[in-house]
Structure 1
Amino acid sequence: MSSDKTTERFAQLFQRIEKTPSYRVEGLKVEVAEQIYLAMQRGGINNAELARRLGKSRAYVTKVLSGNVNFTLETLVTIGDALNCEIALGLKLKASSVAATTRKNPPKTKLPASRKAKKKNRVALAIVLAEAP
């Protein structure tokens, strides 16, 4: 098999894998871990200090930062509180769904004016740790 065909087959395989729920879940775990790490950096908090604030071991914090935790909303809120941050979640339609919706009549929703403005800024299930006011 030629190198070009092998490369093409590998690219096709990777595209299929990228669409699987388990791949996307792992990607979200990494994103959450990165957000936690960035919040720690902004706050000048090291692993030992976060562990102390959470009442957990440093090994647990290392596990969290490696993305090897099944993050629950409760876990995220607890970590956010320890970092003096709030959790912000958002959902958006997948690109293929957006294209299909724009071809048809989009659903009419009645959002308060403040929510309409925010609607434009949503991202695909983004989990952001923002400093609490």
Structure 2
Amino acid sequence: MSTKSFAAMMARLAVTSEGQAAHVAVGFLAQVNARMQAQGMSNAALARRMGTSSAYITRLFRGNANLSVQTMVKLAQAVGGSLRVELAEQANVGSPLA
């Protein structure tokens, strides 16, 4: 998936908790995809490194599979990275999530 496609998906996300969760997932997958492209890695190679199927990787990148923290750790390791999660202040204090 191209960076432009990821950006378009992220722009459509709502300001709900579900939308924010999707924003995090899409942003993470964009980073995985960028590392894959930099390494010349295919979905099949990523699947082999994770010990899963190419079909599962395709479902992840299409947003059709649950992206758990465990899966995020496996994806990060498969592309030579590590997962870091941090809590940040909300940009909009008046949001429905405040």
Are 1:38 and 2:38 counterparts?
no
Q: Which moved more, 1:63-72 or 1:75-84?
A: 63-72
- Structure number with greater CO (CA < 8 Å, separation at least 6) is 1
Are 1:81 and 2:55 counterparts?
no
| Aligned-residue RMSD, C-alpha | 1.8
TM-score by length of 1: 0.54
Q: What's the secondary structure of 1:22's corresponding residue? A: helix
How many residues get paired?
81
How many Å separate the matches in 1 of 2:40 and 2:81? 13
Contact 1:30 1:66 in 2 (8 A): no
Higher-Rg structure is: 1
Deviations 1:58-88 (A, max 9, x none): 1111112223332222111111121111112
Deviation at 1:38, TM superposition (A): 0.8
TM superposition outliers: structure 1 runs of 4+ over 3 Å? none
Deviation at 1:45, TM superposition (A): 0.8
TM-score by length of 2: 0.70
Deviations 1:17-39 (A, max 9, x none): 82211122222221122111111
Are 1:72 and 2:63 counterparts?
no
- Among the aligned pairs, what percent are the same residue? 31
Q: One-letter code of the match for 1:66?
A: R
Are 1:28 and 2:59 counterparts?
no
How many Å separate the matches in 1 of 2:24 and 2:64? 11
How many Å separate the matches in 2 of 1:83 and 1:38? 10
1:19 aligns with 15
